[in-house]
Amino acid sequence: MRQMYFFVFIFSFYYGNAQLHISPSSAGDSYIYLSDRFLYVEDHINLEKNNSPETEASIYLRKESQLLQGNKSANQNSGNGSISVFQEGTSNAFDYNYWALPVKDNISLNQFGAVIFQPINKTKSISAQVTASLEGSANPLKISRRWIYKYSGTEYSDWQHVGVNFDVKPGEGFTMKGVNGTDNTVINGVENNPGNRQRYDFRGLPNDGEVKVQIKKDQIVLVGNPYPSALHLQSFLMENPICTGIAYFWDSRANGDSHHLNAYEGGYGSYSPGANVYAPAVFKTYSGAGEETGNSGEIGNEIAREYSPIAQGFMLNGREHGYIQFKNSQRRFQKENSQTSEFKNQQKAEIPLLKLNVGFNELYTRPLLLAFREDSSKDADWAMDAKIYGVLENDVGWNIEEAFYNIQVRPFRKNDKIPLLINLANDVRLTFYLKDFRQFETENVYLFDALSDSYNRLNEGYFSVDLEKGNYSKRFFISFMEENMDKPQPEVAEEESDFSIPEALIVQNNLKAELTIQMRMSYLKQVLLYNLKGQIIFNKTMQTEISNYTLPTSGLRDAVYIIKLISSENREFTSKVSIKN
């Protein structure tokens, strides 16, 4: 039997090939077994099925080993063989995981048990069984077909049942509930199912190359990591302007005990690649028709999302009609850990970050994240600001264009007042407190109440207020400095604000009613100014090579504009700018 064990090479972290062909011979089966390593193949892979059920697969990825391949436009992997990769999900038969397939079934015409297996030992697995019962089991591994769905649409009724006829394409996501019972089979020191985690073995030809999933404007689509390696979710989202740039992840109360929709407790958390942070879900309750009826009082876990692990599914919202694109360049060898990616774990922050928690009658909490980048704006920025997925009857968010956001990214200005949007269907006691506050240029954070002209310091404790039902969009603000309200203040124009883009510094000076542009590495060829309707307000082509330019703004309305700069090398840069004269 010919075999290659890469786990014995202490100093070797990868194995590279232009092409890879693995097939049995007259001497026996052939396979590659990797433990805590990654395999890199530049071109395509051809796998031929081995003869023995014990070593039927051609490549085994164990202890978080992964397979990466070089950039190409299509999946050229071939053969009737397979790779085998382990992944874990919830073991509870009442709880959903959102999945995607890292492998392709090219033999059995999309039958469910052809790609998901029950591990028996390090190399042997048997096909998972499918049951029509409401609940599956761990040993033998039986999965209920009743809960296998995919989604694209805008309404609850748009969930599409998949069942045993598994027509889920690469890149598409699907839901699947866990199983009851335990499976005490120990592989590499870990049980298949100790009672809280279920190990699955995904087997098939590895997905590779560009993977496309159709999406429409304002449509929500369940997608997922289609590769047998980690996906750098941050890069994936930033390279797909066809969507809003925000990924939404389902989370739910642990140890559910009912299949009835009106007993579900769960919701969607938001990941912003621009801030590289995740705002956990607020768990909601539902009616039997799928309508939201309230909240359960719980929130989901704080989870690192920069990297999406093998087989992880998530929701995207369409910004335009087109196709979501997964690419090999977005793949990484990244093991699941507490700082980068896992189904449930802690997250890190790399930029200035504020975590504000707002409690409602001590029943539940809405987590809000505020991050600061100089290349962002105060308005809605693509792939940075995250709308709340499913606003509650009583809810709070960052107020961006009169919509609720649980993540906001903006430039830091110490004298800013950052508005909150609060909507209450009932009288509520709100409690504000800071959960985290890091890498800031200032020490204090205040909740400003415009009605009482009062500042309440949040980094020294809690602040509570009783509010009657209604909408509060211009009353509460987050501030970083306390204005002296006892002394009369001289009337001054708003101080200047600057916007940084790669090759220029743009400064709007409202005292002088002028906008100045300073090029950093090239000359300025043309300046265009648009309103938010796309109409050109100003257009100036330079006659000579200049690095600095000043645009008078005294004749412009107070509003947000889009400025476009064209350099002497014909490179274009755009930014939002707020003008107040």
Close Cβ partners of 92 (under 8 Å, ≥ 6 residues apart):
177, 178, 180, 254, 255, 256
Q: Return the bridge partners of 98, or none.
A: 175
* Amino acid of residue 172: E
Q: What is the mean pLDDT of residues 238-254?
A: 92
**Judging by DSSP bridges, how do beta strands 559-567 and 2-5 pair with one another?**
unpaired
pLDDT at 494: 42
Q: What is the mean pLDDT of residues 346-355?
A: 70
Q: Is the pLDDT of residue 489 over 60?
A: no
pLDDT at 357: 94
Residues above pLDDT 70, as percent of the chain: 87
pLDDT bracket for residue 495 (50, 70, 90): very low
pLDDT at 553: 86
**Judging by DSSP bridges, how do beta strands 116-119 and 96-100 pair with one another?**
unpaired
Q: Which residues of 132-155 are buried (b: 16+ CB within 10 A; e: fewer)?
A: eeebbbbeebbbbbbbbbbbbeee
Q: Return the bridge partners of 144, or none.
A: 131
The structure tokens 């990244």 sit at 334
pLDDT at 112: 67
Are the C-beta atoms of residues 258 and 135 closer than 8 Å to each other? no
pLDDT at 297: 66
Close Cβ partners of 496 (under 8 Å, ≥ 6 residues apart):
507, 508, 509, 510, 511
Query: Across all residues in the chain, what is the average pLDDT?
Result: 86
Chain segment 123-180, per-residue pLDDT in tens: 999 999 999 999 999 999 999 999 999 999 999 889 999 987 778 899 999 999 999 9
Q: What is the mean pLDDT of residues 51-72?
A: 95
pLDDT at 48: 95
Peptide bond into 273 cis (omega under 30): no
pLDDT at 533: 67
Q: Is the pLDDT of residue 14 over 90?
A: no
Are the C-beta atoms of residues 309 and 202 closer than 8 Å to each other? no
| Lowest-confidence pick of 1-10, 381-390, 404-413, 517-526 | 1-10
pLDDT bracket for residue 437 (50, 70, 90): confident
pLDDT at 345: 41
Are the C-beta atoms of residues 462 and 431 closer than 8 Å to each other? yes
Q: What is the mean pLDDT of residues 468-483?
A: 91
pLDDT bracket for residue 490 (50, 70, 90): very low
Q: 338-341: which pairs have CB atoms within 8 A and are 24 or more residues apart? A: 338/304, 339/304, 340/304, 340/306, 340/307, 341/230, 341/233, 341/304, 341/305, 341/306, 341/307, 341/308, 341/309
Q: What is the mean pLDDT of residues 67-71?
A: 94
Q: Is the pLDDT of residue 218 over 50?
A: yes
Strands (E), 411-503: 417-424, 428-438, 446-449, 454-457, 463-467, 470-472, 476-479, 497-501
Chain segment 251-282, per-residue pLDDT in tens: 987 767 777 776 678 889 999 999 999 999 99
Q: Pull the structure tokens for residue 559.
A: 């509003």
pLDDT at 109: 62
Q: What is the mean pLDDT of residues 397-416?
A: 94
